[in-house]
A and B are shown apart, each in its own frame.
Chain A
Amino acid sequence: MFIEIKKLNKSYGEGDNKIKVINNVSLDIEKGTICMIIGASGSGKSTFLNLIGAMDVADSGSIVIDGKDITKLKAAKLTDYRREYLGYIFQFYNLIPDLTVLENIETTQYLGKDNMDIDELIRLLGLEEHKNKFPSQLSGGQQQRCAIGRALVKKPSILLCDEPTGALDSKTSQDILELLEEVNEKFGTTIIMVTHNNDITCMADHIVVFSDGKIVRSSKNKNKRSIKGMRNSAL
C-alpha cells in the first residue's frame, strides 16, 4: 500500500479544554487514486490532511508513506519528505503576492529534481497570458490554477488539496476539478482531497467520511465518473 495510516491520534488544547480531533484513525490509500474526504465542518478533515502533509505532529499512531513512517522523522528529513513527495493546494491559494505567476510556480520548480516543462504546464493551466501578472491582478480561479501549477511542477507523487474549490464559483470549480482529474490520469498522482461538496465525490476512487474525528465510512467508489464526462453528458 502506498499510504498506510494506523491508529492515528491528535488532540488540541490542555486540561479541560483538551479536545480529541483525530480519534484512532486508520486508513490505507492506493497509489494513483483520488481519495476524497468529506464530513461536517470541524470533524477533523483538515487536521488529518495536515498530519499526512507533516505540517502537524500526531500524538500517536503511524503514517507510512512509500514504506517510510513519517511520524518517526526529524524536522530536516520531514522537509525532504515534503520536498520529494508532496504538492499542496489550499482553499485560499496562498500565492506569494510579490512574485509573478511564473515565479510562484518556480518557487517549487526550484525544489524539484525532475520537473515538468514549465511552459507546457502554464499552457495546460491556461495561464499563458497571465504568466507575468501578480496574484492581485488575477481572478480567484486563475489564482487557484497558479497554485495548482506550483504544486504540480515538481511532479509530486501525492497532491494534498484542502477544499481547493471552496472559494470558487461552480463553473470555475469544475474547471479546476477537471484539471486535477487530468493530472491524476496523466501523471498517476495520488490525490487526497478534502471537500464539503458531496456532489463532486463521484470523481473519487475512494471516499472517506469523517465525523467527530473518526472515520465513519471508507469505501471504494464503484460508480466513478469523471467531472469532464459528467459535464459533457449534461450538455
Chain B
Amino acid sequence: MLYKRYKRDIRHNFGMYLAIFIILAIGLGTVFGGNAGDDSMIQTVEQFFDDASLCDGSAAVLYPLSEDYIEKSSDRFLVEEAFYTDMEASVGTLRVFGSRKTINTPYVENGRLPEGDNEIFLEKHYAELNGYTCGSSIIAGEKKYTVSGTGCLPDYVYVLKRINDMSSHTASFSTAIVSEDAFSEIKEEFPEKIIANYFFILKNNETSESVKEFFSSAENNICTEFINSDTNPRITTYKEDCYIVKRATFIFAVILMIVISYVMCVFLQNRIERERKYIGTLSALGYRKRELIFHYLGLPLIISEAGGIGSLIAGYFIFSKMLTKDSTDLYSMPDFKVSMPLYIILFAIIVPPLIMLVIGTFMLTRKIASTPNEIIKPKHRALGTKLKLSGLSYITRYRTRQFFKELTGNVVMIFGVFISTVLLILGYSIYSSIKKYQSDIDGTVKYKYMYYVTGNDQVPEGAEKAEIHNLKYKGSISDLDITLFGISENSRFFTADTAERGADNDVYTVSVSDSFAEKCGIHENDVFTVTDTSGIDEYTLKAGEIVPYSVGLSVFININDAALMINGERDHYNTLLTENEIDKDSVNILAAYTSEEYTEAADSMLESLMLIIIALLGSAAIIFVTVLFLMLKFMTDKAKNNISLLKILGYHANEVNKIYLGGETYIIIIAILLSLPLGTLVIKALFPYLTAGYSVRLDPGITLSGYAILAVFMFAAYAVLYIYLRFRLAGISFTEILKERE
C-alpha cells in the first residue's frame, strides 16, 4: 500500500527526486571524495615517512667529515652519510645515492633494492615516464646498469633538483640508488663531483640549531647547505596541495549544505502547498503530526538517504581518484588505496535525511498549526494587491502580478542562482587566479636571467649584482617562502626604494611587496620577523613602503644592507640579474634560473589542480542547472491551472510563454548578472583562507572574458531549460482546469 503510493509519487515527481538525488550524490560526492582522497594520501605519505625513518634534516659540507668527528655527536643526534652525485643518464640527469642504512630508506614499489655492482634503483615517475621497468638497462655516468627496482625516497617526495626550484620535472631529473660498492666505484672515479651530504635525526631534546653548529664548526670545512625537514619543500609541498583541496572542498561543502537545505526547503514547501487540501483534510480527520510526517516525508527521506549513500559511492569510485590523481602524478609517493573515513560515512548517512526531516517537520508543523480550513483555503496574499497598475500594457500587468505572486518564489530562485553561481565561481577562480598570477609575472619580472654565483668575479657587462636570499615567514597554516631582494639603489629591474640605511638596533627597514603585505596583513611601519630556510637564524624587519610586486612574497632592501644582515659584511653579492645570457666561462655560476621558471611553476601548480578545478566546476555546473530546473518547474507547476485556463480562453502558446516564462527570463538574466559580481566578492573574501598555504598571493582574478564564459554557460543552461519548459507548458492540457476544482 505504502509502497504503491511511493511508486506513484516517484513516477509523478521523478524529475524532482532525481534532481535532489543528483545534487546530493554529485555535490557531496565531490566533497567526500576530495577529503577521503586527501586523508588517505596524507596518511600514506606519513606512514611512508615513519617506515622510512624520515630525517629531521640534512646538511652538506664541502669535505667529508671524519668518522671520529661524527662519532663525537652520537649521543646527541644520529648522523648518517648520504653522499650523492648528479650523473648524466640515458635520459636527463639522475641524482645517484649510495644505498641507505637506517635513515630515509627507500620505498620499494617494484623489484628490489640494488645488490650487484651494476644494479640501479630508479624513482618511480622517472622510470614510468621513460619506460624503464625491472630488468631494463640504463646508462648513467657512462656505465651501464640494470634496473633492479623502482620506488620512491621520503626526502624527495617532490623531486626538486635545487631546493629553491619552483617546479619538478621527473622525466628529466630524478633520484636513483646504487649499491654501496657501485657508489664507492663512482666516488673513486669522480671524487670532485661527490656532494658530502648527511642526514640527521635528533635525539633527546636536541634542536637542529646545535646540529647546524656541529656541521659548521668542523675544522677546515664549510657547511654549504643545511635543510630542516619541516621547511624542506621536497618533503612538505605535497601537504600544501592537500590543504587547497581540503579547503576548497570545505568551502564547497558549506555552500553545498546551504544549497541542499535550500532545495529541500523549496521542494517541501512546494509539495505541502500542492497537497495542502489533503493535508488539511487529513489533519481535520484527526491525523497526528507524526503520521502526517510519515505520510509526506517518507519518500523524501528515503531519497535523501539514497543521495547520501550515492555520494559515498561517487566519492569513493570517482571523485577521490579524480581529485588526487594530479597529486599522485606530481609527487613521488607510494600508491595508495582510498579509504572512506568513518566520520564521512556517518555524515553521509545521517546528515542529508536529517536536514530533510528537520526542515520538513518544521514546515509541516507550521502548516498544521493553522486551522484545517485555513490550510485548505489560504488567504489571498496581500503582497502586490495594492498595486495600481493602470497605464501598463496588459501583458506587463499580468507579468507584474505574476512576479508579485511568486515574489517569494522569485527571491528564492534568485538566491538559488546566486548560491550556485558562487560554487561556479569558486571552481573557476582557482583556475583564473593562477592564470592571472601568470600574466602578472610578465609585467613584474623585468630581468630574464638570474645566476647564483660565488660573488668573487668581475661583474660582467650588462649584469646587475644583487644579494638574494630565501627566507621563511610564519603563515597561518604553514611557513611561507619569502624572497629577500638585496638590490642596488638604482636598479634597472626593481622600482622599490632601496637606499642604503643600515640597521637600527638590528632592525632593517625593507620595502614590502603588496602581495606579501596583503597576504599576511603587514602595514607600513609594522615590525615582523623572518627566519632563514632552516628556521634557525631570525631577522627582525620593519615595513617601509609597500610596493607593487605580485610574483611570490618579497621584501626589498639595499644590496649592502642585505649582505650585512645575512652575512655580517657589507660588500658582497650572490646573484647576477641580466636581460641576456652571460658567458658561462667568465663567471663561476652555481645555479642559473630564467624568469620563465616562474611561469613554469605556475603552470605546474595549475596542472596539479586541474582535475580539482574540473571536478568543482563540473559539479557546480550540475548543481546550477538542477537548482534552476527545480525552481522553474515548481513555479510552472503552480501556475498549471492558470495556464490551462489561458489556453482554453484562446491564448496562443507564445502568449502563454510570454506571461509565464518571459518574466522569469528577465529575472534569471538579472539574477545571473548580479550573481557574478556579488559571487566574486564572496569568493574574494574566502580566497585568503583558501590559499593560505601557498607562498604567493592569489586573488580570483576573473577577467571579463572569464565572466563572459561563465555567463554564456549559465545562459545556455537556462536556454536549454527554457526550451524544456516550453514543451512542458505546451503539454499542459485544457482539461487540467476541469479536473482541479477549488
Q: Which A positions have Cβ atoms within 8 angstroms of B?
A: 46, 50, 53, 55-56, 76, 79-80, 82-84, 86, 88, 90-92, 94, 96-99, 103, 106-111, 134-137, 150
B342 beta carbon closer than 8 Å to chain A: no
Bound Cα distance A103, B394 (Å): 8
User: Taking A55-B734, A56-B735, A137-B380 as contacts, is the C-beta distance between A92 and B741 under 8 angstroms?
Assistant: yes
Whether the Cβ atoms of A108 and B649 lie closer than 8 Å is yes
Closest to B405 in A: A98
Whether the Cβ atoms of A108 and B734 lie closer than 8 Å is no
Question: Within 8 Å CB of A50, what residues of B?
Answer: 734-735, 738
Closest 3 pairs between A and B when the two form their complex, measured CB to CB: A83-B650, A55-B734, A82-B650
Closest to B647 in A: A79
Question: Within 8 Å CB of B738, what residues of A?
Answer: 46, 50, 55, 90
B707 beta carbon closer than 8 Å to chain A: no
B584 beta carbon closer than 8 Å to chain A: no
Question: Within 8 Å CB of A103, what residues of B?
Answer: 394, 397-398, 401
Number of inter-chain CB pairs below 8 Å: 72
Question: Within 8 Å CB of B642, what residues of A?
Answer: 96, 98
Bound Cα distance A139, B645 (Å): 21
Question: Which listed residue (B395, B401, B646) contacts A98, Cβ 8 A?
Answer: B401
Question: Within 8 Å CB of B653, what residues of A?
Answer: 76, 79
Question: Which listed residue (A53, A135, A137) contacts B648, Cβ 8 A?
Answer: A53
Bound Cα distance A53, B737 (Å): 14
Whether the Cβ atoms of A79 and B650 lie closer than 8 Å is yes
Bound Cα distance A136, B650 (Å): 24
Question: Which listed residue (A83, A91, A110) contacts B395, Cβ 8 A?
Answer: A110
Whether the Cβ atoms of A79 and B380 lie closer than 8 Å is no
Sample 8 A-B pairs with CB under 8 A, ordered by A number.
Answer: A82-B649, A90-B738, A98-B405, A103-B394, A108-B649, A109-B394, A111-B649, A134-B385
Bound Cα distance A99, B401 (Å): 7
Whether the Cβ atoms of B648 and A88 lie closer than 8 Å is yes
Interface residues of B in 603-650 (CB under 8 A from A): 641-642, 645-650
Bound Cα distance A137, B645 (Å): 20
Question: B649: shortest Cβ distance to chain A, in Å?
Answer: 5
Bound Cα distance A84, B650 (Å): 8
Question: Within 8 Å CB of A96, what residues of B?
Answer: 642, 645
User: Taking A82-B649, A92-B742, A103-B401 as contacts, is the C-beta distance between A56 and B734 under 8 angstroms?
Assistant: yes
Whether the Cβ atoms of A106 and B649 lie closer than 8 Å is no
Whether the Cβ atoms of A97 and B648 lie closer than 8 Å is no
Interface residues of B in 628-676 (CB under 8 A from A): 641-642, 645-653
14 more A-B residue pairs beyond the given contacts A90-B738, A111-B649, with a C-beta to C-beta distance below 8 A: A46-B738, A50-B738, A82-B648, A82-B650, A83-B650, A92-B741, A98-B404, A98-B405, A103-B401, A106-B394, A107-B646, A110-B395, A111-B650, A136-B380
B11 beta carbon closer than 8 Å to chain A: no
Whether the Cβ atoms of A79 and B652 lie closer than 8 Å is yes
Question: Which listed residue (A46, A88, A136, A137) contacts B649, Cβ 8 A?
Answer: A88
User: Taking A99-B401, A110-B394, A134-B380 as contacts, is the C-beta distance between A94 and B651 under 8 angstroms?
Assistant: no
Question: A132: shortest Cβ distance to chain B, in Å?
Answer: 9
Question: B412: shortest Cβ distance to chain A, in Å?
Answer: 18
Closest to A75 in B: B653
Interface residues of B in 711-742 (CB under 8 A from A): 734-735, 737-738, 741-742
Question: B657: shortest Cβ distance to chain A, in Å?
Answer: 13
User: Taking A56-B735, A111-B650 as contacts, is the C-beta distance between A94 and B645 under 8 angstroms?
Assistant: yes
